[in-house]
Amino acid sequence: MQRAARELYTWSRCTHPNVLPLLGLVVVDNQIRMVSRWLDNGDLPGYLSRNPHVERLNMCMQISHGLEYIHSLPMIHGDLKGANVLVSDTGVPMITDFGNAVLQYGTLQFTKTAQLPGFTARWTAPELLLSEDHTQSKEADVYALGMTILEVMSGKIPFVKYKHEIQLIAAIVTKGLTPDRPETEMPTGDERSDKLWSLLGRCWCFEPTERPSASEKGQIMEQSAIADPEMREWIFGVA
């Protein structure tokens, strides 16, 4: 218990502009709940629907940096998706909802259930869908990051054509299904879109070890922006 308390204290002291800080814990109905500050802009999907012209790729890069920081603690988020990213008053995306988080080398694990939360399956790596205990990993976080970036860029949830979760899960684990390319938002033949789509494809590799790290993903996006003025303008809105 003392070690877990020390880990929680360390976590609460961690700061990053793209991670919503932990303010404290409360016990409700004999369950530990985490407390963070309220953000009026709400979650990322809602914010994007109200602000359709925001620089979406810039937000994706910031989310990647937030996940990179989480992994450096070392910690695993375990449930990354658009709904678990809140937006600050200045339009900065901040990763939140650490209900499934695991302190990788410590003793504390908040949740380890035999049932995946509703709709989270759309962001969940195949190895977790196939696992009985759903053990989280950095590689699974990167898979979810790719789905979150797709969600941000397209404005739709992953696998939007699938209405039933059971059918979707079966297609992912038996056929290695990955999302269709959103041609309207990421047209084939557009060099910038092609680069990003290729990177997302790596995030969705069926074999976890073939996926890039969150750090590598962020570096690739930044290097592309530096080397390509058009890419830089696409991401940051500046030439």
d(CA 214, CA 39): 25
Split at pLDDT 50, 70, 90, the class of 111 is very low
pLDDT category of residue 73 using cuts at 50, 70 and 90:
confident
Give the separation between CA 29 and CA 124, rounded to whole angstroms: 28
Average pLDDT, the chain: 83
Q: In this predicted structure, what is the pLDDT of residue 227?
A: 46
pLDDT, mean of residues 54-74: 91
Catalytic residues: 79
Return the axis-axis angle of helices 214-227 and 229-236, rounded to nearest 10°: 120
Distance, CA of 168 to CA of 170 (rounded, Å): 5
Alpha helices in 73-209 (DSSP H): 126-130, 138-154, 165-175, 191-203
pLDDT band at 113 (very low <50, low <70, confident <90, very high): very low
In this prediction, residue 185 has a pLDDT band, given cuts at 50, 70 and 90, of very high
In three-state secondary structure terms, 49 is helix
Residue 212 CA, chain-centre distance (Å), reads 14
Q: Do strands 85-87 and 24-28 pair parallel, antiparallel, or not at all (unpaired)?
A: unpaired
Contact present, 114 and 132 (Cβ < 8 Å)? yes
Q: Does the predicted model carry a pTM greater than 0.85? A: no
Beta strands in the chain (DSSP E): 24-28, 31-35, 75-76, 85-87, 93-95, 102-103
Is the per-residue pLDDT at 57 higher than 50? yes
- CA dist., res. 146 & res. 213, Å (int): 11
Q: At 223, is the pLDDT very low, low, confident or very high (cuts 50, 70, 90)?
A: low
* DSSP code at position 18: T
Q: In the numeric block, which tokens belong to residue 7?
A: 């880990």
Q: Is the model's pLDDT at 74 over the cut of 80?
A: yes
Q: Which amino acid is at 100?
A: N
Write down all domains in the chain, each with its CATH number in brackets.
2-236 (1.10.510.10)
